[in-house]
Amino acid sequence: MSAGVSPDDALRGAHCGHVGAATGRSEPATPAQDLLRGVWRENPTLVQLMGLCPTLAVTNSVANCLAMGTATMFVLIGSGFLVSLVRKWVPGEVRISAYVLIIATFVTVADLALAAMAPAVHKALGPFVALIVVNCIILGRAEAFASRNTVGRSVLDATGMGIGFTWVMLVMGSVREVLGNGTWLGIRVFGESFEPWVIMVLPPGGFLTLGSMLLVVGAWKHGQAERAKARVS
């Protein structure tokens, strides 16, 4: 552990796989860095491997991905804003309970709004909208970032994390729906002769798609590292 960092700070920085917390940062991040961090460099799904339960469960269609991504982003931004706003008045002993209560409030709003505006999608998502309350991405950002930074930075960080989570789900949902149903957002993209790959809309299809994406990202990062070594040498 580095000098000047308390055990509690180190634990909070590592909470839920958080990478690149504010501790140990020599210079403050720019607004663009706060926003773009979660889109790629610290993507919650592909890098931090958080929120995998809804990612694997609901990505069998693009409509489900759009609904889940939008709901998660709403909760991320709302909880990040409120946690950062009240962080100085919440005692450390009850901070997790307070954060869960804040998150649950925004999840309830998202759940009711989705049920009213898109009942078919809400029914297809089943319990996974309500389970956003225990999504590690939400609580992880509240504890490791929003509770330690200003409202503006917290909102930017939450927006970036929400975008990063959503685009990964959309890519997975597109692959699984196109191959598994021959449609994209319900629009047929192949002719009548296309034989759907049924496995892609079943649970194994989620694992295959996510594993393939992680393999591609890992190979790309390995190639980058090798090119960096070659330039240094």
Task: Look up the pTM and report it.
Answer: 0.85
Residue 57: its H or E element = helix 52-57
User: How do the residues of the chain divide into helix, strand and coil, expressed in percent and rounded to 5?
Assistant: 75, 0, 25
What is the structure's pLDDT at 23? 41
- Please list the ranges in the chain whose pLDDT falls under 70: 1-26
Structure tokens at 197: 């790959």
Q: What phi and psi values does residue 54 have, to the nearest 5 degrees?
A: -65, -30
Report whether 74 contacts 110 (CB < 8 A): yes
Tell me the residue ranges of DSSP E strands in the chain.
183-184, 187-188
What is the structure's pLDDT at 26? 52
Domain ranges of the chain: 27-232
First to last CA, the chain: 31
Half-sphere exposure of 68 (CA within 13 A, CB side): 36
Query: How far is 10 from 16, CA to CA, in rounded Å?
Result: 12
Report whether 150 contacts 144 (CB < 8 A): no
What is the structure's pLDDT at 192? 84
Q: Give residue-wise pLDDT tens across range 189-211.
A: 988 889 999 999 999 999 999 99
Q: What phi and psi values does residue 183 have, to the nearest 5 degrees?
A: -130, 165
Query: How far is 165 from 180, CA to CA, in rounded Å?
Result: 22
